[in-house]
Structure 1
Amino acid sequence: MSDIQEKIEQARQEAHAISEEKGATSPDAAAAWDAVEELQAEAAHQRQQKSETEPFFGDYCSENPDAAECLIYDD
């Protein structure tokens, strides 16, 4: 599991524990769940950045139509 996913899981467990101990509507529980949401947002941001920097296979084939992996064979 990636580092950010581990942090999300730890934060989620802590938020559950705080919610049980102090109540789901307590300020401490709200802060704990906010931390979980922030970590999830960061994970989504990292995934988006990664997908923007990696070229899509279609783009590769458009630029390299003779590459072996882009050739299409008719039966």
Structure 2
Amino acid sequence: MSNIEKQIEVERDNARKECDINGANSAECAAAWDVVEELQAEAAHQRESSKPKNNFEKYCDDNPDALECRVYDD
């Protein structure tokens, strides 16, 4: 288990305790779960950034104006 995953577990336990002590609708409970969500988002970001790029992604990084690399927003 990575360091961030351990921290997520610790903060998840902390959030449960905060909610038990202060109530599920308290500001302390919400803040504790916000910490868990932020850590989970960071873990997801780290997993995504550690994924190696394929040849097409490398090509588009080098040639962002290439026709096949354009991204259109709907």
Q: Fold-level match, TM-score > 0.5?
A: yes
**Alignment match, 2:58:** none
Q: Cα distance, 1:40 vs. partner?
A: 0.1
Structure 2 unpaired stretches of 5+: 56-74
Q: Deviations over 1:31-66 (max 9, x none)?
A: 000000000000000000001xx255xx5xxxxxxx
**Alignment match, 2:20:** 20
Residues paired across the two proteins, number: 55
Whole-Å Cα distance in 2 between the matches of residues 17 and 41 of structure 1? 22
Whole-Å Cα distance in 2 between the matches of residues 37 and 55 of structure 1? 27
Whole-Å Cα distance in 1 between the matches of residues 21 and 53 of structure 2? 47
State the TM-score, normalizing by the size of structure 1.
0.69
Rg comparison, structure with higher value: 1
Structure 1 unpaired stretches of 5+: 60-75
CA RMSD of aligned residues (A): 1.1
Q: Deviations over 1:10-48 (max 9, x none)?
A: 000000000000001100000000000000000000000
Sequence identity percentage: 49
Q: Runs ≥4 in structure 1, deviation > 3 angstroms? A: none
